[in-house]
Amino acid sequence: MQCKVTLLDDTQFECELDKHAKGQELLTKVCDHVNLLEKDYFGLANWETPTNKTWLEATKEIRKQVSGAVYEFTFNVKFYPPDPAQLTEDLTRYFLCLQLRKDIMRSVLPCSFVTLSLLGSYAAQSELGEYDPEVHGTDYVKELSLAPGQSSELEEKVMELHRTYRSMSPAQADMSFLENAKKLAMYGVDLHQAKDLDGVDITLGVCSSGLMVYKDKLRINRFPWPKVLKISYKRSSFFIKIRPSEQEQYESTIGFKLPNYKASKKLWKVCVEHHTFFRVPTVEPPASRRFLGLGSKFRYSGRTQAQTRQASSMIDRPAPRFTRSASKRLSRNLDGVVSTQRGTRPVSAPVFSQAALAGGRDPHGPFRSAPDLHSDQARPQGGTKAGSHSRSCGALKNRGQGWSRSSINLRRTCSSIMPVSVS
């Protein structure tokens, strides 16, 4: 079985696997190829459409997850770390930067002009190094992919900031990039189109902190994982059971309508994986089933964030030196048509150690951008209360055991870190 994987720097990796190979075997080969040890944050995606992807399950055979005879995947960040500074290796942070730049280019990580300029300047420092007028010339960032439909005004601002950086290594530039990108409201949010029970179009977003609800690109509600007791789906409907607030006596169940059964199950899987990875200390092996049971057998089988952090702290190898391949360059021909081509860049500057990065100061001083319309800083953090969202999300009071076909009881998976209130 021939598999082809597009890496984060847009290079191709091909390998031959047994026809019964599982997803974990391919992911391991890819991580070994790119010399990545902190591999639990990453995954392989199969793209059904340019905007619709499905994550390859590690414990299932590849051929049972892909329709057709073509096995093509992309290597992507699956779990975005809330604090990238806690990653151990610069190589991992570099891959996270590449993923975020792809998110910006795909318009799934919106940010203001000020933020785009700042992130672009760090990207230029990482790829091109310190500004040298004899080497770079005047319009040197025109070739960099910084934003969709990037303007000359943006390029000028990026160059203005980039020229002020002195003695900043590529690793430091990546760290500064991530420290600013992680503050964006849509950082690490996996979006799913849905409707509330009144038929209003909304978007559900899954991230490290919980489930978000968006309408017209604005967040209208937020359900943190500690408030979510149970997630389930039935046919094309998706449900979450919410812990009662101080003003409520009973738990409330909120329902959403997905386009179809497949979309509902995919959202359920993403929620299960994110909740388990970010909230549960360790993954317990699934209990054996003596009899046939209803519902999905899917469970997250990888390491949690707590486990991967512990494993990362035990990494004992010299900081890997790697070649920072430049992004796809934008080239403008005589007709004004923009095309993409790959540029080249020499091996990066020496990689600084984690201790040196932690103890060092940013040479250009702190840069605080104006409040971003897409940032959490521009809106209240708490959101509306779960109990007050019954009209727009169709809250359903349900005091029984429920009617879900497949569900995850978060009391069980998170009992060690989340107290259970029994009404």
Distance in angstroms (rounded) separating the CA atoms of residues 81 and 187: 10
Q: Count other C-beta atoms under 10 Å from residue 352's C-beta.
A: 18
pLDDT at 394: 40
Q: Give all domains of the chain, ordered by start, each with its CATH number.
A: 2-77 (3.10.20.90), 84-185+322-378 (1.20.80.10), 190-284+299-310+384-413 (2.30.29.30)
Distance in angstroms (rounded) separating the CA atoms of residues 20 and 7: 23
pLDDT at 327: 57
| pLDDT tens string 377-401 | 444 344 444 433 333 344 333 433 3
Helix axes 113-128, 90-105, angle to 10 degrees: 130
Which structure tokens are listed for 377? 């800083």
- Provide the β-strand partners of residue 192: 204
| pLDDT tens string 141-188 | 988 889 998 899 999 999 999 999 999 999 999 999 999 999 999 999
Environment class of 286 (CB within 10 Å of its CB; exposed 0-12, middle 13-18, buried 19+): exposed
Angle (CA) 407-409-410 rounded to 5° is 130
Q: With CA atoms as reference, report the closest residue to 33 among 63, 12, 10.
A: 12
Q: How is residue 375 annotated by DSSP?
A: B
pLDDT at 246: 81
DSSP string, 316-358: -SPPPP---PPPEEEEE-TT--EEEEE----PPSPPPPHHHHH
Task: Write out the E strands in 120-227.
Answer: 190-196, 201-206, 210-215, 218-224
Task: Write out the E strands in 207-257.
Answer: 210-215, 218-224, 228-234, 237-242, 252-257
Q: How is residue 289 annotated by DSSP?
A: P
Q: With CA atoms as reference, report the closest residue to 44 among 11, 3, 82, 16.
A: 3
pLDDT at 293: 46
Q: Which residues of the chain have pLDDT under 50?
A: 290-294, 329-405, 412-423
pLDDT at 285: 65
Q: With CA atoms as reference, report the closest residue to 299 among 283, 322, 320.
A: 283
Distance in angstroms (rounded) separating the CA atoms of residues 232 and 218: 25
